Amino acid sequence: MSDSNPDCVIRRLWPSDREAVQAHFRRLDGASRFQRFFGAVSDDGAAAYAARSLTGAGLVYGAFAGGTLRGLGELRPAGGARLGPEAEAAFTIEAPFRGRGLGTALGRRVAEAGRNAGVRRLHMRVLPGNRPMRALARGLGAELRNAGRETHAVLALAPATMLSLWHEGWNGLFDAVLAMTAGR
């Protein structure tokens, strides 16, 4: 469950969630896709990205509202095959579900996962007109800098603690149970 929205469930996504991820990317409107990918992306292009997203390096988390995937948070290695001190985060929330705390809940979960994986700096690239993403980055405590045609947000993460590792482990067990029962 999300701290800010009790009707929202945040959990890690697995290859078995592929259809839900593809459906999520198909439901994104053109402006949302443009903001996520920094350019126009067709339905086929979005579906192809969605199919690869769960098997690539890094971690993917989903925000479920009413049992349907409505938001996605990705934690990806920056310049390598494994998560390390530098990582990148990207988010999508379907337009009708914005302003309900899904992005904040995803951002916190992605930041916690990064922290526990040894990430010290989490980078987010944001188009200047993407106010919701800028607000999310600021709300997580990121420092925002204009960099030409985009804004670069950097979130400094504290080192993992026994409590943060325990919390993520507990959430991971809960995520696995939810994923296994999702199709029933």
Angstrom distance (rounded) from CA 164 to CA 157? 12
Amino acid letter for position 89: A
Q: What is the pLDDT of residues 83-97, one digit of tens each?
A: 999 999 999 999 999
Whether the model pTM is above 0.85: yes
Is the pLDDT reported for residue 67 higher than 60? Answer: yes
Is the pLDDT reported for residue 62 higher than 80? Answer: yes
Query: In which domain, by residue range, is 112 found?
Result: 8-182
Q: Which residue has the higher pLDDT, 63 or 163?
A: 63
Angstrom distance (rounded) from CA 2 to CA 37? 26
Is 2 inside a domain boundary? no
Q: What pLDDT is stored for residue 184 in this prediction?
A: 46
Is 3 inside a domain boundary? no
Is 111 inside a domain boundary? yes
Amino acid letter for position 171: N
Is 41 inside a domain boundary? yes
Q: What is the pLDDT of residues 135-171, one digit of tens each?
A: 999 999 999 998 888 899 999 999 988 888 888 887 7
Quote the percentage of the chain above a pLDDT of 90.
Answer: 53
Is 66 inside a domain boundary? yes
Is 1 inside a domain boundary? no
Query: Residue 131's domain is classified under what CATH number?
Result: 3.40.630.30
Tell me how many helices (H) and strands (E) the chain has: 6, 7
Alpha carbon of residue 138 to chain centroid: 15
Alpha carbon of residue 19 to chain centroid: 17
Q: Give the total number of structural domains in the chain.
A: 1
Amino acid letter for position 91: F
Q: Average pLDDT of the chain?
A: 88
Is 42 inside a domain boundary? yes
